[in-house]
Amino acid sequence: MMLVDSHCHLDDERFDADRQAVIERALAAGVEMILAIGSGPPDLEAAIRLAEEHPHIYATVGVHPHDASKWTPNLRERLRELASRPKVVAIGEIGLDYHYNFSPPEAQRQVFGAQLALARELGKPVVIHTREAWEDTFRILGNRASGIMHCFSGGAAEARACVELGMHISFAGIVTYPKAAAVQEAAKATPWERLLVETDAPYLAPVPHRGKRNEPAFVRETAAKIAELKGVRLETVAEFTTANFRELCLQAAASKG
């Protein structure tokens, strides 16, 4: 059985002391591939370095909505350049976060739109972060999009809207939390061909690890919860989510190469 962690911040300083051991534990747990998410400025290459060191790790590049106020035209060109690296399979994470508003909402919307345009120009999927911003997220995405709604936090209605747009939906440890009924309903409603799992490590560790530092090996717990919700074996979730990741991120990248 093979799993994919479709969203992990492996460059986070909380992994500095034991990053290699974390990667080895993931492999031992059956995690075949990890998507390392690019950090915003100043270091846009952190995830790429990890991907280039490990054959089963892939990378994204992008400016998080928290960092939207740092956006410059030069940064856009730098992203374009980095996106051409062989292990970079998506633009992200990008999007909107109206919970913290670390960058002004208008700046977030502008930078989100600019990176969506870049991804479409390059033919790459996007990895989207949206928090308390569904209406604007859907408006900016338009009628069609290719990519991942990461760490999905909406309900069944938002899940259906994402699927209609053409997006994949990735569930993190939140789906294992007892009070996350809406997210659990969304997982039940998500069609198999659009389903992904992730950790968002080091954040949001699933039950029974909740409250601890999250790591890619724990994606197994999230997949097991989705299997329970859908009434299938864990192997079924692993099979579909791995195939979906390959088709969305790896086959598209290979065809562009």
| Cα dist from 69 to 3, 79, 92, 103, whole Å | 36, 16, 16, 5
> What's the confidence (pLDDT) of residue 252?
61
What pLDDT was estimated at residue 254? 63
Q: What is the pLDDT of residues 74-132, one digit of tens each?
A: 999 999 999 999 999 999 999 999 999 999 999 999 999 999 999 999 999 999 999 99
Residues of the chain with pLDDT under 70: 252-257
Distance CA 70, CA 53 (A): 28
Domains of the chain, CATH where assigned: 3-256 (3.20.20.140)
* 88-97 vs 147-149, strand pairing mode: unpaired
Rounded CA gap, 64 and 37, in Å? 10
Helices 134-141 + 156-165 axis angle, to 10: 10
3-state secondary structure of 180: coil
Q: Is the dihedral of CA 142, 145, 150, 153 positive or negative?
A: positive
**DSSP run (H or E) holding 219:** helix 219-230
pLDDT attached to residue 53: 97
**For residue 176, what pLDDT is reported?**
98
Whole-number Cα distances in Å, 87 to 43, 90, 104, 160: 17, 9, 32, 31
